[in-house]
Amino acid sequence: ELKVEQNPLFLSMQEGKNYTIYCNYSTTSDRLYWYRQDPGKSLESLFVLLSNGAVKQEGRLMASLDTKARLSTLHITAAVHDLSATYFCAAPRSGSARQLTFGSGTQLTVLP
Amino acid sequence: SAVISQKPSRDICQRGTSLTIQCQVDSQVTMMFWYRQQPGQSLTLIATANQGSEATYESGFVIDKFPISRPNLTFSTLTVSNMSPEDSSIYLCSVETRYPEAFFGQGTRLTVV
């Protein structure tokens, strides 16, 4: 059974600082998803990482995937308040690219 | 990208009643997925709905409680039956498309009182 572990669960950081969210998954997967969720809202797709060594960047967020280590990271550079949200990683089950198992989520609060 | 519309966006229901949630996508898709997000929790897959066949339910979810219909390639419904306060959650629909992303509808926020 696929398990996805995300840490930290809660992250409070000051504006301008850098930090990394980690996502470990238990079985082989060739892709990994990152989502953002604002309170009371649905999921916003941030990144889909499709191969080992994949790196994607959008603004202050950069995601990477190491399929051998079964690890993905979401790096936040020079955080700003607008990045405050909950971030989820998700991995697909074997045989189905869209049946996703989600991590517990990281609730990020960026303080002024 | 796929545009996924869910109705209703939110509802408050009495315990013991049922609510049917609709999911409409703007293109034909093979598989549609229903997820539940309990308050403060992550998302859990309820079931997978293929057109023309019975939905496949995940462990802990049963058809009597969460009947699903999939009448065509662009539409699905999820019913939450005989509701109790523990069913208060956000229910989200997702679809499989030709794009690598996994898209989600805007969700249905259900409160059972």
pLDDT of A75-101, one tens digit each?
A: 999 999 999 999 999 999 877 778 999
Residues B52-99 pLDDT 10s? 888 999 999 999 999 999 999 999 999 999 999 999 999 999 998 887
The Cα–Cα gap between B58 and A58 comes to 34
Question: Region B23-47: what's the mean pLDDT?
Answer: 95
Residues of A in contact with B96 (CB under 8 A): 97-98
Residues of B in contact with A2 (CB under 8 A): none
Contact B55, A99 (CB under 8 A): no
Question: Region B2-31: what's the mean pLDDT?
Answer: 95
Residues of chain A predicted below pLDDT 50: none
* Contact between chains at B101 and A104 (C-beta distance less than 8 A): no
- The nearest CA of chain B is from the CA of A103 a distance in Å of 7
The Cα–Cα gap between A66 and A53 comes to 5
Which of B45, B102, B106 is closest, CB to CB, to A33?
Answer: B102
Residues of B in contact with A33 (CB under 8 A): 101-102
Question: Region B10-30: what's the mean pLDDT?
Answer: 96
